[in-house]
Amino acid sequence: MIELAKTETATVAERSERPTLSAVEKFRQAEIQRNRRQPKFNLKTLFNKLQNRFSQAHDVSDLIEAQVQSRTAELYRKAHFDALTHLPNRAHLQETLDQLVRRHDEFQHPFSLLFLDLDGFKGVNDNLGHGIGDELLRHVSARLLSSVREGDIVSRLGGDEFVALLTDTDSVEIIERVCERIIYEIARPYCINRQAVITSSSIGIARFPRDAKTTTELIEKADQALYISKSEGKKTFRFFEPILSDSASQQANIATLFEVAMAQGSFGIQANPQMDLKQNRLVGASLYLNWQDAPLPSNDFAAWQNPLNKQTAALPLALWLLDSGLYYSQRWSVAQQDLVVTIAVLPVLWQEPSFETLLATRMAFYGVTQSQVQLEFSLESVTSQEHNSIEMLQKLADLGYQLTLSGLGALAVDMTLLADLPVQELKFDQAWLKKQLKTASGQKCLKAFVQMSKALDICLICPGIEAKSQVKQLVEMGCLIGQGDLWAQPVAVENFSKIFSL
């Protein structure tokens, strides 16, 4: 057993013999002799081998220097780039901002900072898992990079917070185009691990040196603008303005303002006539809440319905608006049977678990049929992933209700998602429509929407019409229904029938 070379020819008896002490000692001595013949390791031997390997002695120094440089670059990458998305991190952003400030001092080059985060990202993590959430962040990073201009810098600050640094510009027009691309790209659906994921982005903008004189101040101003952007609704962007600071502090007191307004009777319901653009004939009325002397940038319903939805006062107001719409629909139908009343449905109401039952009960109470009313939902609220809004709309459609989505154009919306929504009407955002009518490119965009609506058998509603020239433009494009001051300013709902002889 000790002499391995003989093991193949050893007999069975020999293999079964117990090893003797003398045989073991003989084997140990042989091992010692073999070890003595092995060369000893030392630094000189290694250096000689390296010299033999390289043709020049300085090649060894080059190898060591290359390894040091590689290690230094790796340490820099870890310190300045995000491990998940490989985007520059907060430290890298700060260094870049400092460089741009110094360059501005020398060459007077302005720049702009876009702060953005993802709407509903926590819901993705909670409902689909952190693995899906991490993969979503990687996809968002790629879309952000594709949305900015060449030379712009995208960074990840952490979590779902990102920054886009637009170099050499403080142009409102350029910044708006970049923001619109970002919002549109991020809002497109994602397919991750065979699961559909939807998110969106809100953006706050600050410009140097217009809004700030230091990098710290610039970051604070962009963050404040982001806060206002999110408070006013998702999928939107806001520039920093001095008034924003006052608005931000006002949000903390807004619940009290709503309570006071209700106690003082500051809320009312207004009606806006809807007209057949070709025949110039009254075909409907759009009802919505009006807040007189609202402590917000505008007292228009669209300007404060999102803040309203977060208050405890919202639900009774939403029910009041629904009941009023059904009541007047029943009354006005006596004079004009084909008149359709559009009722704005606040998110706080349709998010109620029993909304379908409540709606059926109220309709039956007022004796109104489903063909007499259009239920209007904001496009922003129903495309959010935080609630099962698409499922809710489908249930209502299956029950025979007629549905309208408002805010078309103001937000980036995936056309595939829009085509799947079971709606009969789409209402343009008033400010967006007015802007598009003024330019050739905007008119092309409107024509594209008209063609899409025809393919989907959806009627387009055009609000904010002020002149006959606008009516002519819209009719030539193929739009059928409009509303605006050209026919009548919004009036208190109780006076609507007197003006239009209903």
Instruction: Provide the token pair at 156.
Output: 């990840």
CA atoms within 13 A of residue 100's CA, in its CB half-sphere? 26
DSSP 88-143: B-HHHHHHHHHHHHHHHHHH---EEEEEEEEETHHHHHHHH-HHHHHHHHHHHHHH
**Token representation of residue 169:** 């510009």
Tell me if the domain spanning 90-250 has CATH number 3.30.70.270.
yes
Q: What is the C-alpha to C-alpha distance for residues 461 and 458, in angstroms, rounded to an integer?
A: 10
- Please report, in tens digits, the pLDDT of each residue of the chain (502 residues total): 444 444 444 444 444 444 544 555 565 566 556 655 555 555 556 556 655 655 555 565 666 666 666 666 666 667 778 889 999 998 888 889 888 988 888 888 899 999 998 987 887 887 788 899 999 999 999 999 999 999 899 999 888 999 999 999 989 999 999 999 999 999 888 888 888 888 889 899 999 998 888 888 898 889 888 888 877 667 889 998 764 444 445 554 566 667 677 777 778 888 999 999 999 999 999 998 887 766 554 445 555 565 566 666 678 888 999 999 999 999 998 888 889 999 999 888 888 888 999 999 999 999 999 989 999 998 877 876 556 788 889 899 999 999 999 988 876 666 677 778 889 999 998 888 988 898 888 898 899 889 988 988 999 999 999 999 999 999 999 999 999 999 988 888 888 888 877 6
Q: Which helix (H) or strand (E) holds 177?
A: helix 172-187
Q: Which of 271, 272, 274, 269 lies closest to 461, judged by CA?
A: 274
CATH T-level fold of 257-499: TIM Barrel (3.20.20)
486-501: buried (b, 16+ CB within 10 Å) or exposed (e) per residue? bbbebbebeebbeebe
Q: Which regions of the chain carry the CATH code 3.20.20.450? A: 257-499
Supply the pTM of this predicted model: 0.56
Query: Minimal CA–CA distance to 171: which of 244, 109, 214, 105?
Result: 109
